[in-house]
Amino acid sequence: MPEGDTLARTAAGLRPWLLGQRILAARTNGPGAQPRIERVVGTRVTAVEAIGKNLLIRLDNGLELRTHLRMHGSWHRYAPGERWRRPAARARLVLEVEGSVAVCFDAPVVELFEQRAEAVHRSLSRLGPDLLAAEVDVDEAVRRLRNPLRASATIAEALLDQRALAGIGNEVKNEVLWQASSSPWTLAAALDDNALRELVHLAVSVLREGAATGRRPRHVYRRAGLPCPRCHTLIRVEHQGRDLPRLTFWCPGCQPG
């Protein structure tokens, strides 16, 4: 699943081609396709932003497009007439501007709504602090991690909860817990504020590195059966989580518990 740093790079890649441009044509396809997408035609793009794992395209008529890529979605940019790298049937949203065609493939979420509704949007309004914001409210992230809703959650599950802090996906979760020598099986409620604050700062650092370079450090993720680069214990992997189990990679030697 694309994480916050991937979305930040996607927004940065689309911005030079879309920002300030007038949308000449637009169409949607697939489940939940917006029947009134024609409302964006003729408008100018005023912002292309990533918030957590959401990509937002704001328009000068007060409308806003939101995509969430989940596991398999991606944005591409093509020159007019250029052959697409994926079948057109997989294009969920197509925006044409002068000199460019922006295509969002395979995204399960494509929404069009009024910008003024963002504050009460069922997903956006519930997001925790964006870890790639210019100023991250670390104290608020810690407060949300301590919310009673997450009292029985392991720290690995809590870090993936976008209502606590926005932008962390499974790969960053694994890396951050390893860097902090923190067991993924420890309850979030059992960690003190300093430990939670360290995890937030580490997540910010990993995501910012990914946003800047397109690369993340990978010490345990997808390295099951290989020696830990810190203590040489063999890395393990297990499914973890109740609602949507995810693969957790960890070192039982230096992440005990």
Q: Which residues form the catalytic set? A: 2-3, 53, 246
Report d(CA 141, CA 198) in Å as an integer.
11
Residue pair 228/252 in contact by the 8 Å Cβ criterion: no
Nearest partner of 173 among 9, 3, 16, 43, judged by Cα = 3
Nearest partner of 47 among 63, 36, 34, judged by Cα = 63
Q: Copy the structure tokens of residue 46.
A: 């005023």
Nearest partner of 178 among 250, 248, 236, judged by Cα = 250
Distance set, CA 199 to CA 44, 193, 252 (Å): 40, 10, 18
Q: In degrees rounded to 5, what are phi and psi of residue 55?
A: -110, 125
Q: Kindly state the helix (H) or strand (E) to which residue 203 belongs, with its residue range.
A: helix 193-213
User: What's the angle, vertex CA 218, arms to CA 213 and CA 219, rounded to 5?
Assistant: 150
Amino acid at 135: E
Cα dihedral 104, 106, 107, 113, rounded to 10, equals 60
Q: Copy the structure tokens of residue 170.
A: 């499974």
Residue pair 134/168 in contact by the 8 Å Cβ criterion: no
Report d(CA 241, CA 246) in Å as an integer.
6
